[in-house]
Amino acid sequence: METETILSVRDLDVKFTLRGQVLHAIRGISLDVHRGESLAIVGESGSGKSVFTKTFMGLLDSNGSVTAGEIRYNGQDLAGYTTDQQWRTIRGREIAMVMQDPMTSLNPLKTIGDQIEEAIVLHQGLKGAEAHAQVLKVLEEVGIDQPERRSKQYPHEFSGGMRQRVVIAIAVACRPKILICDEPTTALDVTIQAQILQLIKDLQKKYDLTTIYITHDLGVVANVADRIAVMYAGDIVEIGTCEEVFYDPKHPYTWALLSSLPQLGVKGEELYSIKGTPPNLFLEVKGDAFAPRNPHALKIDFVERPPYFEVSPTHKARTWLLDPRAPKVEPPEHIKHLREQGVNRHV
Amino acid sequence: MPSFRFKDHKTQQLSQSVGEVLSRNYSESEFFEFAPYDPTAGERGGYSNYSYWGSTLRSFAQNKVAMFFLILMVGILAFTVVEPMLPYAPEANTIYKGATNLAPCKEYWFGTNSIGQDLWSQIWSGVRTSLLIGLAVACVEAVLGVIMGVLWGYVRKLDFLFTEIYNIFDNVPQTLVVIIISYILRPGVSTMIFAMCLTSWLQTARLVRNQVLIIRDRDYNLASRCLGTATWRIMVKNLLPYLVSILTLRMALAIPAAIGNEVFITYIGLGVPLEIPTLGNLIKAGQTVMMESTLSYQLFFPVIILSIITISFYIVGNSFADAADPKNHVK
Amino acid sequence: MAKYIFKRLLRSLLTLFIIVTIVFSLLRLMPIEGYFQNFEKMSAVQVELGLKELGLDKPLPAQLLDFYSDLLHGDLGVSNKYRRNVPVTKIIAEKVPVSMAIGLTSLGIALAVGLPMGILMARSTRTKHKIGDKLGTAFIVLIQAVPAAVYYLVIQFYGTKYLDLPMQISSGRPVTYILPILSLALGNIAYYAMWLRRYMVDESNKDYVKLARAKGVPASAISRKHVFRNAFVPLVQFIPTSVILTLMGSLYVESLYSIPGMGGLLVNVIQRQDNTVVQGLVLFYAAISILGLLVGDILMAIVDPRITFGKKEGGR
């Protein structure tokens, strides 16, 4: 498949200062996002997946900053952007975002219509009645009935799922090229989750969007992603197509992650969980960050950070186990049968 | 080989040199051997060695302004206790004949007042009385507030009653209550304490009640109870930290408030009798002579001492409440 | 909305009734010499007769009933010392406009200074050294920690000494009002600045502000349209506190500067032990406090759409 890179990140470093201590949140990530694809970034809480995508929009908290690397978009290096003015050429207009909790991401004192209209006025150059008409159109698009009446209501008059539709409407109303969905369904009921994911998929097709999902829910990933990037401790440890990562994972962390899928649990046995906690990013991480929790860790894992080893042109992983000199380690039995067990696109 | 968890710069340097030694002394093949797996190693890197009180104290100690005022506050408290025991400390009300309205000098550090009393000993005696009032109010408020708050929160039948009482009395400014009570009863230290305690405990009780409701109903406590955590443990771990922080804050603020009320009530003429030196009485006396520039020190010494005391209590109380807030405990 | 306001109004009336009853009953314990002009010269029999005349020998419920029936006729009794035999309502009515004018002016100034101060402080928290925030905080701490009764005196001292302003107001000269109005405003300035700053900092960390940033709204528009509005709404709740602060402050300030208002009056009649006027004024003060709370709640319901909607999500 012919791929065109829309956003390209190189050796990105992000650091936060907290009470005089430095937290190294993103440790040299490189990533190419392809136009029109849907990429999922997975990882546990604190792995830096949200922080990573926030750098694309200049939305880091004020105590954090990009300290090295670049973010190429449209021939510009976003990592060098500093002013609100520069970022406004990107935010909404080029890259928009759907956040995790629809209960808090809308302004409680403004009507839904006003909040969508704000985006339309900013990015579609419409005003007054035209803008209002567009608001109704967008509301309809995201599946909200009686848009005229609903547009005059306040967020508290909507359910969680409906609010998330409104948040999506705001994002789409900006007419972006890239849509970042930060845990878009985590705060929602299971029954609503599928509807929201379907809605995003439909809009992606309709508006030719590139979508980046951030999630810790492998079920969501299997449902929507073309490619998967697995993050651990501020780094992408494995990246590949959905098939590759699910059915031929190479990094021990990915194995552990997949092992913790509840669907793989055997009746009567304890569910698998990854032992230990992620490393403290206030301290410098040496070697492979996952090594202390990794039963298959090699001595070198504690000394030297592994480079990426290419498994296929689309699949690479950062683990010494792929080094030709390393002993052969097979992934755990149970995840080898993921395909047979039906953990596929219909999880 | 141990896993490296770097604690500081030194160990980091050390580990670097270990790395170098390793690469020199070990052949490549050894590098690619399995490292011994220690399941507990993974836990060490985490953030779990968190201690609430430790973090609270540390974050308070890091606040230099608060530490300064804490030391000042402790110093003043200690001095007010010790002062009358010092040798040659005169009785505060002693009148020195012929020594009226003397400006501060070697013998009378803060000067003397219009009837020839030593202002230095008057002020410290006044501070004692005012702090006594303040501490008494704060203690009653804390004890009554906690007992009533727990009852309010735990006994569902009382909830309505207490809430109504609170809603009604919250409408009346405390100063007004103090005025009414002081007007009705004979002025004095105990009247003043009684008047200030009458409604102020409601505030503390409400804070405690809200916390009790949280303990009772919040999901994380419910979860904790489902896991078999004993109620006392939930109380100690979840209620106590919060209680201590609101109580210290309320107490620290009750003292400046009580001192302020005392000054105010004294001004209106409902205060403690003149024979008992209080900050209010001293300030009132100073006020009558403040326009004579040679005598204005009689106003300013009590005002300065009073301000130092109220400001230190206020800052220490607020800083401790900030330090006790887990949100400010980020490492 | 109308239903909410009506319910709220009923509540306030009930509260007022309960408080008036309690205060009235408490005040029956007032020293009896406060009912007579020349108590010292009266014999025991005369005192008894006098009390009977005032209806004070009856049991408390009967007295309460009398009081309420008088109250409904707008009668709060007559003064017996301050201005002999002049109805209390008349005395208070003369004083109210003076206090109102000074109180409202100082509140207006407090808002005009306190709100911008809060905004500047909130903005300063995002700068490197936070100098503005630190200065503002120092001011707020000073005003809140030092008792008002004390800094009022200091203001009067320095104002008269170094700014050459008079110690007492005189109605023809606006300059003479500067010190008392400034004194009264300081407490509210600190209060509004502190809370607006806190709320603005809180609000600007909320998700909806992040979403607004993510959709490309300019920073100035975010702080104006989103942050300030949301931070200002809860401030409406402070109106009752402001009223109370101003009222209590005016007790002191008015007598310091000899302003012929209610505050000065209360101090005056307390010192002279004029029971009926004290009673009338205390009840009046309680009524204003309750009114302040009512106004605060009604305004709140107007500015915040969540409040009348339902209990679950309303308010903070």
CB contact under 8 A, B260 and C247: no
Per-residue confidence (pLDDT) for residue B13, from 0 to 100? 52
Pairing of strands A178-182, A5-18: unpaired
User: What kind and span of H or E run contains C157?
Assistant: helix C148-162
Write the pLDDT tens digit of every residue in A51-82.
Answer: 999 999 998 888 888 999 999 998 889 988 98
| All structural domains of chain A | 34-62+83-229 (3.40.50.300), 245-341 (no CATH)
Cβ proximity of A211 and A179 under 8 Å: yes
| Length in residues, chain C | 316
CB contact under 8 A, B43 and A276: yes
| Chain B interface includes C26 (CB < 8 A) | yes
Instruction: Quote the CA–CA distance of A137 and A139 in Å, as a whole number.
Output: 5
Rg of chain B in Å (alpha carbons) = 29
Question: If contacts are CB pairs under 8 Å, which of residues 163-202 in chain C contact chain B?
Answer: 167
Instruction: Quote the CA–CA distance of C265 and C285 in Å, as a whole number.
Output: 12
Per-residue confidence (pLDDT) for residue A347, from 0 to 100? 41
Per-residue confidence (pLDDT) for residue B27, from 0 to 100? 58
Residue B291, classed as helix, strand or coil, is coil
Instruction: Give the mean pLDDT of C65-88.
Output: 85
CB contact under 8 A, A276 and B48: no
Count Cα atoms within 13 angstroms, Cβ side, for C207.
14
The CB density around residue A202, as the number of other CB atoms within 10 Å, is 13
* Chain A residues touching C230 at Cβ < 8 A: 107-109
pTM of structure: 0.81
Mean predicted lDDT score pLDDT of chain B: 78
Would the ipTM clear 0.90, i.e. be above it?
no
* Chain A residues touching C308 at Cβ < 8 A: none
Q: How confident is the model at residue C114 (pLDDT cuts 50, 70, 90)?
A: very high
Per-residue confidence (pLDDT) for residue B52, from 0 to 100? 79
Q: Which residues of chain A register pLDDT less than 50?
A: 344-347
Per-residue confidence (pLDDT) for residue B331, from 0 to 100? 44
CB contact under 8 A, C149 and B260: yes
Count Cα atoms within 13 angstroms, Cβ side, for A279.
29
Per-residue confidence (pLDDT) for residue B48, from 0 to 100? 52
Per-residue confidence (pLDDT) for residue B22, from 0 to 100? 52
Task: Tell whether the model's pLDDT for residue C309 goes beyond 90.
Answer: no
Instruction: Quote the CA–CA distance of A256 and A273 in Å, as a whole number.
Output: 8
Q: Where are the domains of chain C?
A: 89-313
The shortest CB-CB distance from A18 to any of B5, B45, B330 is to: B330
* Chain B residues touching C278 at Cβ < 8 A: 183
Q: Return the structure tokens found at A312.
A: 């296929």
Nearest to C76, CA basis, from C42, C27, C18: C27
Residue C247, classed as helix, strand or coil, is helix
Q: Does B57-329 carry CATH code 1.10.3720.10? A: yes
Q: Minimal Cα distance from C12: which residue of B?
A: B168
* Chain A residues touching B26 at Cβ < 8 A: 299
The shortest CB-CB distance from A104 to any of C206, C212, C216 is to: C206
Pairing of strands A95-98, A38-42: unpaired
| Chain A interface includes C229 (CB < 8 A) | yes
Of B98-107, C19-28, C193-202, minimum mean pLDDT range: B98-107
| Chain A interface includes C230 (CB < 8 A) | yes
Residues of chain B with CATH 1.10.3720.10: 57-329
Write the pLDDT tens digit of every residue in C226-257.
Answer: 999 899 888 887 877 787 778 888 888 988 88
Instruction: Give the mean pLDDT of C7-14.
Output: 87
Percentage with pLDDT > 90 across chain C: 19
Kindly report the CA angle at B177 between B171 and B180, in degrees rounded to 5? Answer: 135
> Which pLDDT tens digits describe chain B residue by residue (331 residues)?
333 333 444 445 545 555 555 555 555 566 777 777 766 666 555 555 667 788 888 888 888 899 999 999 999 989 888 887 776 666 767 777 776 777 777 777 777 777 777 888 888 888 998 888 888 998 998 889 888 888 888 788 888 888 888 888 877 888 888 888 888 887 788 888 898 888 888 888 888 888 888 777 777 777 777 887 777 777 777 777 777 877 888 888 888 888 888 888 888 888 888 888 888 888 888 888 877 777 788 888 889 999 999 999 999 988 888 888 777 775 4
Q: Which one-letter DSSP state was computed for residue A300? A: G
CB contact under 8 A, C141 and B172: no
Per-residue confidence (pLDDT) for residue C113, from 0 to 100? 96
CA dihedral C85, C88, C89, C90 (to 10 degrees): 50
Q: Minimal Cα distance from B59: which residue of A?
A: A19
Superfamily of domain C89-313, CATH level 4 = MetI-like (1.10.3720.10)
Cβ proximity of A253 and A237 under 8 Å: yes
- For the beta sheet containing A38-42, the strands, ordered from the edge strand earlier in sequence to the opposite edge, are A95-98, A178-182, A210-215, A38-42, A227-232, A235-241, A315-317, A309-312
Q: Which residues of B touch A (CB under 8 A)?
A: 1, 3-7, 12, 15, 19, 22-23, 26, 28-35, 37-48, 62, 330-331
Per-residue confidence (pLDDT) for residue B3, from 0 to 100? 37
